[in-house]
């Protein structure tokens, strides 16, 4: 069980955030399997009947489902991301009402950093692989994420709140429904499991020099996350919403 401190952090919003100046969305580890003549489809996610689209499951490296007596259990990546978005919105509103609250600022930075790392590791690659036009959607999301980090770094609480609201609304209206339509419930749960695991191991600060695309971000992010967590322990930094 992780130890969480309720002491005031020694860092401010602008001090704990660094900018990822550029992403590399062109580096892809996933490729779509398009339908072939006669309606045959290559290996892929368990696709929904009638979609006609399959995707490469081996490159996503999904964990096995837990034994449930034949029934699917767990949280899908759509539910996990939705919950994280609601948490980020609540933190942004809270900080907007009191910009001087360093503990809320610290938690917001940590939550956003973990969330974006998990999105880069599993959500965006799945969108690229499973959703028609997924490359364009993922590239747009990466650009929006970079802008969110710039606003956090500048300490522009009001503008960050407006930007994160637009980001969440766009995902809810397009990205997540498309992913839910194109990917089976079982694989959505597998992605949700991986997303939560990645988020827990992710850095609590943005790191511009680390890879933003699989497979290397899956290797580097947990290592950098260990260093961040050691720094958090030394500085008694608050990084979880439940500790506020």
Least confident of 15-19, 97-101, 115-119, 227-231: 15-19
Task: Tell me the pTM.
Answer: 0.73
For the stretch 177-221, pLDDT in tens is 999 999 999 999 999 999 999 999 999 987 767 888 889 989 999
**pLDDT score recorded for residue 137:** 93
Domain membership of residue 130 (yes or no) is yes
Domain membership of residue 220 (yes or no) is yes
Q: Give the span between the Cα atoms of 39 and 205, in whole angstroms.
A: 46
Q: Which residue has the tokens 């490159």?
A: 59
As for how many domains the chain has, the answer is 1
Least confident of 25-34, 104-113, 134-143, 184-193: 25-34
Domain residue limits at 184: 26-63+75-237
**pLDDT score recorded for residue 47:** 42
**Is there a contact between 169 and 35 (Cβ–Cβ < 8 Å)?**
no
Domain membership of residue 54 (yes or no) is yes
Percent of the residues in the chain that have a pLDDT greater than 70, as a whole number: 70
**pLDDT score recorded for residue 14:** 54
In degrees, rounded to 5, the angle at the alpha carbon of residue 108 between the alpha carbons of residues 8 and 26 is 140
Domain membership of residue 15 (yes or no) is no
Tokens (6 digits) for 204: 């609590």
**pLDDT score recorded for residue 99:** 87
Domain membership of residue 191 (yes or no) is yes
Domain membership of residue 108 (yes or no) is yes
Domain membership of residue 5 (yes or no) is no
Domain membership of residue 2 (yes or no) is no
Collapse the DSSP code of 54 into the 3-class scheme (helix H, G, I; strand E, B; otherwise coil) and give the result: strand
Q: Which residue has the higher pLDDT, 1 or 22?
A: 1
DSSP 8-class letter at 148: H
Rounded to an integer, the average pLDDT of 3-13 is: 45
For the cut 60, the answer to whether the pLDDT of residue 13 exceeds it is: no
């Amino acid at each position: 069980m992780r130890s969480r401190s309720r002491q005031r952090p020694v860092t401010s919003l602008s001090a704990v955030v660094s900018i990822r100046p550029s992403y590399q969305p062109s580096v892809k580890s996933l490729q779509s399997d398009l339908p072939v003549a006669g309606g045959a489809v290559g290996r892929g996610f368990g696709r929904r009947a009638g979609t006609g689209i399959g995707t490469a499951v081996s490159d996503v490296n999904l964990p096995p489902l837990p034994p449930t007596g034949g029934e699917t259990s767990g949280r899908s990546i759509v539910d996990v991301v939705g919950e994280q978005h609601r948490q980020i919105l609540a933190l942004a509103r809270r900080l907007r009402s009191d910009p001087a609250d360093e503990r809320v600022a610290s938690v917001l930075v940590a939550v956003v950093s973990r969330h974006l790392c998990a999105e880069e590791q599993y959500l965006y690659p799945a969108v690229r692989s499973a959703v028609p036009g997924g490359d364009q959607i993922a590239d747009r999301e990466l650009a929006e994420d970079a802008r969110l980090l710039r606003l956090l770094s500048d300490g522009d609480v009001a503008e960050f709140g407006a930007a994160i609201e637009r980001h969440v609304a766009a995902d809810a209206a397009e990205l997540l429904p498309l992913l839910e339509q194109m990917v089976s419930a079982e694989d959505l749960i597998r992605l949700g499991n991986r997303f939560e695991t990645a988020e827990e191991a992710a850095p609590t600060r943005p790191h511009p020099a680390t890879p933003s695309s699989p497979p290397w971000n899956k290797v580097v992010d947990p290592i950098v996350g260990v260093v961040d967590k050691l720094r958090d322990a030394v500085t008694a930094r608050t990084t979880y919403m439940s500790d506020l």
